[in-house]
Amino acid sequence: MTMCGAPEMTDDHCERICYAALGMLWEGRSVKDPVNKKPMIIRAGIHTGSVISGIIGKKSPRLYFFGKSVMITSKMVLYCPPGGIHCTCAVHNQVLPLTNFEFITRGNIYIQGSGSIKTFFLKKSLKKSIWEIIDEEDDGKNSDGYAELWDELEKNWIRHGKTTTSRFCTII
């Protein structure tokens, strides 16, 4: 789980997490599964909202996050195809005035306890290339990196359809 804006709130927490998710999507491709040698394809869910956190454990203390926002984010991951970044309307509305990102409307999903929520897929940053996000040179490709990323991911979406992958990355 990745968190931004806690314990100290930041005005640009949604923007930072969107950049982090895009960077993780790109970098995850370089990590190979030790069994089948295929690249790791993450799924990310992003939501913004309040959480409760606390350190639990004496022997091996861990920081945990609780609350409705954590539950909604986990549902974003659950309904996300491999290689996608699934965002709630709250995230979309938070970064929309910045016009820094391009989204694809996914539609409404029903979450028990929260009702129907309009959701989106984060497609790319309009402000930064993948190379700027991951802090690397573009190696003279003269591209922003998103075409390479999405060509590969769209093939994966078509091939897999609904996923049953058990490994996932949750981004709040």
Q: Are 47 and 76 in contact (CB under 8 A)?
A: yes
Q: pTM to 2 decimals?
A: 0.80
Structure tokens at 90: 């709250």
Query: Taking the domains of the chain in order of start, what are their residue ranges?
Result: 13-160
Q: 100: phi > 0 → left, psi -120 to 50 → alpha, else beta; which?
A: alpha
CA distances from 153 to 28, 75, 83, 97, 108 (A): 12, 21, 6, 27, 22
What is the pLDDT, as a whole number, of residue 67?
85
Superfamily of domain 13-160: Nucleotide cyclase, GGDEF domain (3.30.70.1230)
Confidence of residue 161 (pLDDT cuts 50, 70, 90): very low
